[in-house]
């Protein structure tokens, strides 16, 4: 449903006519505003496509076969989606325009063959050759080899042990469940069942050698070394021997506890963690435990998993997640930057939708914060057990731009929860507090992606900005602690690492606004070093780009093909750092104006979102909609006019209740 356009607020009168460049900027802002409003849904929220790599489609296809739910018509569309991502060398990448990856290529090859494409098909032959060149199955992670074993495509031998008895360990013990990040907990518990029961399945039958195992001396998955790695490998061998015993005391009770954990952690829609891996793995675990069609737990799990599918009848795509809360809050922030008023009905509808999404129950996070009242927001439609601090910070910023009933009470709960999740060292992580164990990442199972949730610069900066938006003073204890953390974690070159966005452009463009909002002057050396870094990596045409490969190759930090979202982040950092009147900011704004689409928005062909640095990336299709719109609005507002300079909106004055509660 298209929302009605709203007029931009009047600009301050100036003598003479507007300069052509200013007129063009005004038109671009108007078009961006109208474009965003046209994409608002009838109930007030925004939600955009979330793209990742074709492991999502391959695993959906294999899971359908394993569970006996295969749909030949849908499989045809899944294959079309997979083939769309095949590179000229036959392989498949982890991110758009990236190099071929062994895991993605092997899983894609398995799905192509499972769906019936013969070994002689040109695309299959090319994929197999690429997989062999990349090291074959021997070069893949535990997750990939587990999927192949579940589908009956290779033996279970060689996979690490992950015993369900670990659920009996103290949660905060050295290897307890709470030592893992929220997403890792939601993944590990179902996999304790799958890797223990090792279900036998003949869902896919292929000829010997259909999947290359890898040549002797060829590429292999890196194996940890050192005394600790040797100790864990020894433990793994002991656990494997325990598995072979005719009687395993306590194993049945451990599996029952894992099953209960899975059912207890299903959200109202049946999802666990509201991300693809644990949602898929709970289906595998429940199936291994004997659940079949008609089982309420399995039906809820499968329904939630299918809820992430985009199927238009021609192509079928499996999303790794959905991002409606994140999208809605950032779209609201962009509209506020463009000058849409707090009493505008579009803003009010969006705010009411966000208020209805507030999390009011206690999840796993309460194990480390037992006295902290519930509050905050999650990323998705349903994920009450796993709200996150980053979403909460952006939602709080967004609610500052809308005047609706019940807002202040929700803001108070959100601020309390958000600040209560600050870690002892002053930094803020996404989902958990004090989740920084180095030990758990060394167990043989953990060979892919981050399994802990330490504080990050981007989340800490967003929390600082939200706290300042709601009037917390620069001397507030949480503000000073977070500000000090950010200053300590600035890179030697002046940038900040981007945990949840690619990469240093994202981290730096978050840190500078956060620090200046929290009372640091724009002439502070840390701010100026951050600005200087942005100026060094800005392209001659004014744009910014940073490749996903920058997480592994330092030479790519700040370098890459330009994107609208990253150029918007760079412009935002420049404006907050006092450079709104500079030629660098003008060039960035001009590049965005020139790249604006017919719908008033932008598009990115490259991924700029991060799931796991170095391992898993995301293409947020909303990023090229709201971030450039927000950046142009902020640039328009921040440019010096008559000697005046502004880097942001005025903080909201706290009411008596809010002020007293947060002192």
Residues 6+ apart with CB under 8 A from 297: 262, 263, 266, 286, 291
Q: Where are the alpha helices (DSSP H) in 41-90?
A: 55-66, 72-84
Residues 6+ apart with CB under 8 A from 157: none
From residue 40, alpha-carbon distances to 43, 297, 341 in Å are 8, 34, 16
**pLDDT tens, 163-206?**
999 999 998 899 999 999 999 999 999 999 999 999 988 878 88
| Res 7: pLDDT | 41
The tokens 């017919």 sit on which residue?
Answer: 598
Three-state secondary structure of 100-159:
ECHHHHHHHHHHHHHCCCCCCCHHHHHHHHHHHHCCHHHHCCHHHHHHHHHCCCCCCCCC
CA-to-CA distance for 172 and 170, rounded, in angstroms? 6
* Ranges of residues in the chain whose predicted pLDDT is under 50: 1-20, 642-645, 656, 663
Residues 6+ apart with CB under 8 A from 519: 468, 473, 474, 475, 479, 483
Tell me which of 34, 390, 453, 458 is the catalytic residue. Answer: 390
Residue 390 known to be catalytic? yes
| Res 220: pLDDT | 66
How would you classify the pairing of strands 316-318 and 609-612?
A: unpaired
Question: Closest Cα to residue 388, out of 500, 257, 511?
Answer: 500
| Res 442: pLDDT | 86
Q: Residue 366: enclosing H or E segment and its boundaries?
A: none
- Is the distance from CB of 334 to CB of 592 less than 8 angstroms? no
Q: Long-range contacts made by residues 651-654, C-beta under 8 angstroms, separation at least 24? A: 651/468, 651/469, 651/470, 651/471, 652/400, 652/469, 652/470, 652/471, 653/471, 654/470, 654/471
Q: Residue 387: enclosing H or E segment and its boundaries?
A: none
pTM value > 0.85: yes
CA-to-CA distance for 408 and 404, rounded, in angstroms? 9
The tokens 């939708």 sit on which residue?
Answer: 353
- Domains of the chain by start residue, with CATH: 26-50+322-421+456-662 (1.50.10.20), 53-214+222-318 (1.50.10.20)
**pLDDT tens, 522-570?**
999 999 999 999 999 999 999 999 999 999 999 999 999 999 999 999 9
CA-to-CA distance for 550 and 504, rounded, in angstroms? 9
Strands lying side by side in the sheet with 609-612: 50-51, 616-620, 609-612
205: which 2 tokens?
Answer: 């039958």
């Amino acid at each position: 449903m298209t929302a009605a356009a709203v007029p931009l607020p009047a600009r301050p009168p100036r003598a003479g006519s507007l300069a052509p460049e200013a007129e063009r900027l005004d038109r671009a802002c108007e078009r961006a505003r109208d474009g965003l409003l046209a994409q608002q849904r009838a109930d007030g929220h925004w939600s955009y496509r979330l793209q990742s790599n074709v492991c999502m489609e391959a695993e959906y296809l294999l899971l359908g076969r394993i569970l006996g739910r295969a749909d030949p018509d849908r499989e045809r569309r899944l294959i079309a989606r997979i083939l769309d991502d095949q590179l000229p060398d036959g392989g498949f990448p982890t991110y758009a325009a990236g190099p071929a990856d062994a895991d993605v290529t092997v899983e894609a090859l398995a799905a192509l063959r499972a769906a019936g494409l013969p070994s002689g098909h040109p695309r299959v032959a090319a994929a197999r050759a690429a997989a062999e060149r990349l090291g074959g199955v021997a070069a893949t992670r535990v997750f990939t080899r587990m999927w192949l074993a579940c589908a009956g495509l290779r033996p279970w031998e060689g996979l690490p042990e992950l015993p369900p008895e670990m659920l009996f360990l103290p949660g905060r013990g050295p290897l307890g469940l709470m030592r893992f990040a929220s997403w890792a907990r939601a993944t590990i518990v179902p996999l304790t069942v799958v890797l223990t029961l090792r279900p036998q399945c003949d869902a896919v039958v292929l000829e010997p050698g259909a999947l290359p195992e890898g040549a002797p001396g060829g590429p292999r998955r890196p194996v940890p070394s050192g005394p600790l790695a040797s100790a864990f490998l020894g433990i793994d061998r002991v656990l494997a021997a325990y598995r072979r015993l005719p009687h395993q005391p306590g194993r049945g009770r451990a599996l029952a506890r894992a099953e209960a954990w899975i059912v207890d952690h299903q959200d109202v829609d049946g999802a666990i963690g509201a991300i693809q891996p644990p949602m898929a793995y709970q289906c595998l675990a429940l199936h291994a435990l004997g659940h079949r069609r008609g089982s309420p737990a399995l039906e809820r799990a499968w329904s939630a998993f299918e809820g992430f599918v985009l199927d238009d009848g021609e192509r079928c795509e499996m999303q790794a997640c959905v991002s409606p809360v994140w999208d809605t809050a950032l779209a609201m922030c962009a509209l506020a930057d463009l000058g849409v008023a707090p009493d505008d009905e579009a803003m009010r509808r969006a705010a009411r939708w966000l208020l209805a999404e507030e999390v009011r129950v206690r999840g796993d996070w309460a194990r480390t914060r037992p006295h902290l009242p519930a509050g905050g927001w999650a990323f998705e439609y349903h994920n009450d057990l796993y709200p996150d601090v980053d979403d909460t910070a952006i939602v709080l910023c967004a609610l500052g731009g809308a005047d609706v009933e019940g807002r202040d009470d929700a803001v108070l709960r959100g601020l309390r929860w958000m600040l209560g999740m600050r870690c002892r060292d002053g930094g803020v992580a996404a989902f958990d507090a004090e989740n920084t164990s180095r030990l758990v990442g060394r167990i043989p199972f953990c060979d892919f992606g981050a399994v802990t949730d330490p504080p990050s610069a981007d989340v800490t900066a967003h929390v600082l900005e939200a706290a300042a938006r709601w009037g917390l003073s620069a001397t507030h204890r949480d503000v000073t602690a977070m500000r000090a953390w950010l200053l300590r974690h600035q890179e030697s070159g002046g940038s900040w690492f981007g945990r949840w966005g690619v990469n240093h452009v994202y981290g730096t463009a978050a840190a500078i606004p956060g620090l200046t909002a929290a009372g640091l002057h724009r002439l502070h050396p840390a701010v100026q070093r951050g600005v200087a870094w942005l100026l060094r990596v800005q392209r001659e045409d004014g744009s910014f780009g940073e490749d996903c490969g920058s997480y592994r190759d330092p030479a790519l930090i700040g370098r890459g093909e330009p994107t609208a979202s990253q150029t918007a982040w760079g412009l935002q950092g420049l404006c907050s750092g006092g450079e709104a009147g500079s030629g660098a900011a003008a060039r960035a704004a001009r590049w965005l104006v020139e790249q604006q689409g017919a719908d008033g928005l932008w598009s990115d062909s490259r991924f700029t979102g991060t799931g796991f640095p170095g391992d898993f990336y995301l293409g947020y299709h909303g990023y090229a909609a709201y971030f450039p719109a927000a950046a142009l609005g902020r640039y328009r507002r921040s440019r010096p006019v008559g000697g005046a300079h502004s880097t942001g909106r005025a903080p909201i004055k706290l009411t008596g209740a809010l002020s007293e509660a947060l002192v």
